[in-house]
Structure 1
Amino acid sequence: MPVPPPLNCPPGLEHLILIDQLLVQQQVEILEDNDCCTRNFCGYNRPFTIKILTLSGQEIIILKRPLRCNSCFFPCCLQKIEVQAPPGVPIGYVSQNWHPCFPKFSVQNENRKEVLKIIGPIMVCNCSTNIDFEVKSLDKGTVVGKISKQWAGFIRELFTNSDNFGIQFPLDLDVKMKAVMLGACFLIDFMFFENTGLQRPKIGIW
């Protein structure tokens, strides 16, 4: 029997209620993904807006990332992303926390109250293995999930931007926060695994 969605569940997010993981897979087209100036001068720091649609074409999630400097020497201009569901209604944020060595992020609800934290490895590089960003609880720092950049093979890693990510989170996590975790995945992808090539990713989510 289908489970009725909670009263505060945004339309389209009811599919996230009974799952504890997502797979994000990129397929690359050789097309421009931003205007020439933004792409060439801002690179992976460039702003973006990502629209997530149902198979019928309905927009259910919007991810918005402003232009930010990606440097540990400028803690006043850290990375962040806003997640909207439905479009125009913010349901959460992911904000980078300054640290000289480790990638650290705060996962926040619509009131900007911290719900989870994400901590990445000290060295973010492809070494024939998955790269895990651990999702931790606030109270005891227990690992409750992860965002994994999955190793796709030497040829694909070397010559393309086509990345695969796995997102794991608690089954009972608020459905809005599950959508915000998807935003965290895209922010991490752009910060650490994208380049400035003339590529526009197509995204599939399962």
Structure 2
Amino acid sequence: MAAHPLGVITMQPGASPHEQWMHMPPTLPGCPPGLEYLTMIDQILCHQQISLAEVFTGWETNNKYVVRNSMGQQVYYAFEETDVCMRMCCGKNREFTIHVVNNYNQEVMKIYRPFKCFAGCCWCAALDCCAHETFIEAPVGVPIGSVRQLPTGCTFDYAIRDAAGETQLIIDGPCLMCRCCADVEFPVYTKDKQMRVGCVTKQWGGLVKEMVTNADNFGITFPLDLDVKTKATLMGAMFLIDFMVFEDRNKNRH
């Protein structure tokens, strides 16, 4: 797969010249470069940008997201890299790479999901060939964590793992049938599920937007002192949830 030509970007994508950007924090020992932003916040908001081409033609395009803090300041910009055949033939189950860049157009994180022919069934996710996964690198080339779908009944549960594959947190997802006309919460618990420590929330965008486009808004809350690599891995979980649960390539068909 060809690398995205980051060098051709002349200004921060996703932001207008008058939009507020979060200032870059100082470098911190032990923190992957570019993730210093996450050490200062306990909440992020992720807004998927609407593709007019997708709305009017029904052709699935690469997803793009603006990531902001609770004050509305832009922290990151994220964009999908997937070839056309993969998007059109495999839909929400497609292989993807999400590139995350900071406000200086420097790639600080990469989120990758491999394609698996038999993935998608909640009952069979105990098998490697059937479980959706994302792998997070920060900086690019350095694994810091992964997200793996867990075998459950009708719910969408995930394990948040560190670079060694050890589970750090559990996302206890709702049943798909409960997602209409309201925010949908995916609570985040400690690995023993005894304490809730955060939440990934898909925010209801209104009837018209939900019917016409698959552009979704998400929020993630987590403890301020949570390990920065785990915070970044939760971002990887958010993108996996978006594709698995809310990405519907047929939504825009007329």
Normalising by structure 2, report the TM-score: 0.73
Which deviates more from structure 2 when the two are superposed, residues 16-25 or residues 131-140? 131-140
- CA 1:177–1:124 in 2, change beyond 3 Å: closer, same or farther? farther
What per-residue deviation string (whole Å, max 9, x for no partner) do you get for residues 89-144 of structure 1? Answer: 11000011111222111001111111100011123543221000010012452111
Q: How does 1:122-161 map to 2 (within 5 A)?
A: 122-139=175-192, 141-161=194-214
SS at match of 1:103: strand
Equivalent residue, structure 2, for 1:192: 245
> How large is the Cα RMSD of the aligned pairs?
2.0
Q: Which runs of 5+ in 1 are unaligned?
A: 200-206
Equivalent residue, structure 2, for 1:170: 223
Please say if 1:71 is aligned against 2:121.
yes
SS at match of 1:108: strand
Separation in 2, partners of 1:128, 1:13 = 34
SS at match of 2:50: strand
Please say if 1:11 is aligned against 2:25.
no
SS at match of 2:248: coil
1:78 Cα offset (Å) = 0.4
Equivalent residue, structure 2, for 1:102: 155
1:43 Cα offset (Å) = 1.1
Which deviates more from structure 2 when the two are superposed, residues 74-83 or residues 121-130? 121-130
Aligned-pair identity in percent equals 42
RCO comparison, higher one (Cα < 8 Å, 6+): 1
Separation in 2, partners of 1:149, 1:179 = 18
Separation in 1, partners of 2:164, 2:224 = 22
Q: Which runs of 5+ in 2 are unaligned?
A: 1-23, 55-60, 63-81
